[in-house]
Chains A and B, each alone.
Chain A
Amino acid sequence: MRLLIIEDSRRLRDSLTLGLRRVGYAVDAAADGEEGLWFAESNEYDVIVLDLMLPKMDGLTVLRRLRANGRDTHVLILTARDAVEDRVTGLQTGADDYLVKPFAFEELLARLQALVRRAYAAKNPVIQIGNLTLDTAQRLVQRGEEEIVLAPREYALLELLALRAGEVIARAEIEQHIYDDRAEPMSNVVDAAIYSLRRKIDAPDQPSLIRTRRGMGYSLEAPPPCDPSENS
């Protein structure tokens, strides 16, 4: 999943970017409102983490312009302002969540995960694909009872495919959601990531859960049930 952090505190921005990338998110970061708005309008993000007191353009103005331009990306406001009127104003302006500084990083992660699920209309944090279980709250992947350890980027890819299980997702879209602006364009990072993920989640001698649709993209689907009549 791809996030945008708009925060003028360099220390906080760097810590958040590092921490979220290590969890598996692709993260872009902006230091002021103008830069943040440009990022938000130029790319597709799953969630935007937005500070309110920003130089050049304050956070509420960024949010208003996003919504006015039809951008419905989920926005989590992260700010030191804790007054009720500030929360109300932020939510009424179009934010989806509001977190007051200082905050627990775990709580930020949980709120981001909730917003990501909401973006894909998934209420249940546990997704079942065949015998593969993905617990988005715990960031835990199991095949049957066996836990599968994935690298953060691999988990992010699996989560994207699982949240849109059954849908064909284009390679470019996968790249946009899984990789931030540090990724090299025209690379085969998506194919490499799919390959790596398949090796970990697919059961031996079983069809891959990840289907390749040539020229279109990839989808995650449960294998069809066994049909003995096919062998006749």
Chain B
Amino acid sequence: MRSIRKFLISRLLVALLILFSASGAALYLGARAFIVAQFDAGLEAKARSLATLVEWEGDGKIEFEFADEIMTEYSRAESPEYFQLWIGEDRVLERSRSLAGGDLPRLGGSLDAPEFVNLALPDGRSGRAAGIMAVARADEEIGEHESGEDHGQEARTSAAAPPVIYLTVAADRSPLDRAMAGLMLLFAIFGIAVPAGVALIVGAVVRRGLSPVRHVATAADAITPESISGRVETSGLPDELQPIAASLNAMLARLEIGLERERRFRRDAAHELRTPIAELRTAAEVALRSPEDAPLHQQTLETSLDIARQMERLTQALLALARAENGSAAAAKIEIDLAAEARKAWARVAAIADERHLLVTFDFAAVARILSDPDMIAAMLHILAENAAIHSPEGSEVVWRIEQSHDGLALTVSNLAPSLTAADLAYLAEPFWQKDPARTPSSHAGLGLSLLAAYAAVLNVHIEPILDNQQLIVKLSFECQSNDQQLSRS
């Protein structure tokens, strides 16, 4: 399983470590070069200063005005420095006393660009030498010569021009080496401390940055079917997580509605199934306790038969609903006179309607033929008729209407429903839903409109309940594909 945290930490660490490593290497190399350059600059300066002591006096005489008592570093016993001077490539003009007869290598660097080499000093120490090649400086006072003073070494040359001199200066490089070692140690320490620090900081920052994700996950985990009304708190979440939390909460709201619908169904179904069984059982058990009471037995048998019929209707409705919902209800396609079927459906409930003094009005278009399944259409119309007959207030009117529209036929059944609210419309097609929360036992379990909706889905009929000024209007829309109003299945 991929982890955002691990991904971020690994990528950030690698990137930062590469960055720090490159920067550190560059810094180290730069510092190293600087230290070496500083040391070399010192050597160069020494070489230059020694070179300035070489004078060519024009008559072939070359003087090297070097004084040991002034430049004592070339003669001291402790950590001396060294120099060696050549005239031309072969003739050694002067060596420092510290060389004690030894030689330094003749290097070929120029005055502007000395040559630097690492070498072993005569006393075995590690050293570094700078070598320059220059033209001997001409004495401005040619011919003048001070006698009696020691001006270093003199030499004669037959050259008519100032000769080329080579000068190599060498010194102990241990200070340089110490500086380099210190630099390396410093960078080594930083090389360990910085990645470790970066790893800790990156890990902490990523963890902290992702903690809202964990918070959302924890909050979502805490929501169970028993606490489905809970929601993920969105205030305080980062902007990037707000849409996720909002979507999660919307999903939970839908789940809550679905779960509540399931609970209602289970509760109502339990009531509709258990109550008649309880009635049957209690009646039978009470009758059996009085074996000699024949009238009670007769009454109990009649009650049992009523209950059995009620259970039969309920069972048939449930099975029909199951078949319609799982698609196993096969629909035939036969021409049906919708108006005639509507009148038949009302005739079947006429007894109830008469008992309740209901008025009925049929407002049908001249042509109302459809191609559909006659049994399902008859069942749907019977449900509409029965619903209107049972639930309309006594003495009110039930209106059946068939209208033609541009895309087909619409059948509506409207009746007064003063107890219904707009919010109830969403539940009308729910199995077992009843407006009366007490579910006082009657012959109707509340499956009618759910069965109506299931049949409508099978037959591709659009069903729409409308509440208008206390009038419940149930509208069935039949789409037609030809001008003669013949319905064809899509």
Contact = CB atoms under 8 A, between A and B. Distances in A.
Interface of A: 8-12, 15-16, 18-19, 22, 32, 53-56, 58, 80-83, 100-106
Contacts of A103: 278, 281-282
A205 to B, nearest CB: 36
Contact of A9 (B270, B290, B306, B440): B440
Interface stretch (B96-104, B108-116, B415-423, B431-439): B431-439
A118 B363 CA distance: 66
B309 to A, nearest CB: 13
Contacts of B440: 8-9, 55
Q: Which of B279, B289, B436 has the most CB of A within 10 A?
A: B279
SS class of chain B's interface: helix, strand, loop or mixed? helix
Contacts of A102: 274, 277-278, 280-282
A105 B282 contact: yes
B267 interface: yes
Given A11-B279, A12-B275, 17 more contacts: A8-B438, A8-B440, A8-B441, A9-B278, A9-B440, A15-B286, A19-B282, A19-B285, A22-B286, A53-B437, A54-B438, A58-B437, A83-B267, A102-B274, A102-B278, A105-B282, A105-B285
B286 A18 contact: yes
B303 A11 contact: yes
B438 A81 contact: no
B267 A81 contact: yes
27 contacts: A9-B278, A11-B303, A11-B306, A12-B275, A12-B278, A12-B441, A15-B279, A15-B282, A15-B303, A18-B296, A19-B289, A53-B437, A80-B274, A80-B275, A81-B270, A81-B271, A82-B270, A83-B267, A100-B274, A101-B274, A101-B278, A102-B274, A102-B278, A103-B281, A104-B281, A105-B282, A105-B286
The 5 closest A-B pairs by CB, nearest first: A19-B286, A101-B278, A102-B278, A105-B285, A80-B274
B155 to A, nearest CB: 119
Interface of B: 267, 270-271, 274-275, 277-283, 285-286, 289-290, 296, 303, 306-307, 436-441
B279 A12 contact: yes
Contacts of B271: 53, 80-81
A56 B440 CA distance: 11
B299 to A, nearest CB: 9
A181 to B, nearest CB: 21
B286 A9 contact: no
Contacts of B286: 15-16, 18-19, 22, 105
Given A11-B307, A80-B270, A81-B267, A55 B438 contact: yes
B274 A55 contact: no
Contacts of B285: 19, 104-106
A9 B440 CA distance: 6
Nearest to A10: B441
Nearest to B279: A11
A22 B289 contact: yes
A15 B306 CA distance: 15
B439 A12 contact: no
Contacts of B275: 9, 12, 80, 101
B378 to A, nearest CB: 31
Q: Which of B306, B437, B438, B440 has the most CB of A within 10 A?
A: B438
A201 to B, nearest CB: 24
Nearest to A103: B278
A188 B244 CA distance: 79
Q: Which of B282, B307, B436 has the most CB of A within 10 A?
A: B282
Contacts of B296: 18
Contacts of B267: 81, 83
A77 to B, nearest CB: 13
Contacts of B441: 8-12
Contacts of A15: 279, 282-283, 286, 303
B207 to A, nearest CB: 40
Contacts of B270: 80-82
Q: Which of B274, B281, B286 has the most CB of A within 10 A?
A: B286
B302 to A, nearest CB: 11
A27 B153 CA distance: 147
A11 B270 CA distance: 18
A147 to B, nearest CB: 19
B438 A9 contact: no
Contacts of A83: 267
A80 B289 CA distance: 24
Contact of A80 (B278, B283, B306): B278
A186 B277 CA distance: 41
A100 B277 CA distance: 12
A19 B278 CA distance: 14
Q: Which of B274, B278, B306 has the most CB of A within 10 A?
A: B278
A106 B281 CA distance: 11
Q: Which of A11, A22, A81, A83 has the most CB of B within 10 A?
A: A11
A82 B277 CA distance: 15
A208 B441 CA distance: 50
A32 B437 CA distance: 12
Nearest to A105: B285
Nearest to B306: A11
A174 to B, nearest CB: 26
A11 B283 contact: yes
Given A22-B289, A101-B277, A102-B277, A53 B438 contact: yes
Contacts of A80: 270-271, 274-275, 278
Contacts of A18: 286, 296
A22 B287 CA distance: 11
Contacts of B289: 19, 22, 105
Contact of B282 (A16, A54, A81, A100): A16
Contacts of B437: 53, 58
A205 B475 CA distance: 85
A102 B285 CA distance: 12
Given A11-B307, A18-B296, A53 B439 contact: yes
Contacts of A56: 438
B436 to A, nearest CB: 7
Contacts of A9: 275, 278-279, 440-441
A15 B282 CA distance: 6
A109 to B, nearest CB: 10
A21 B279 CA distance: 17
A32 B436 CA distance: 13
B224 to A, nearest CB: 14
Contacts of B438: 8, 32, 53-56, 58
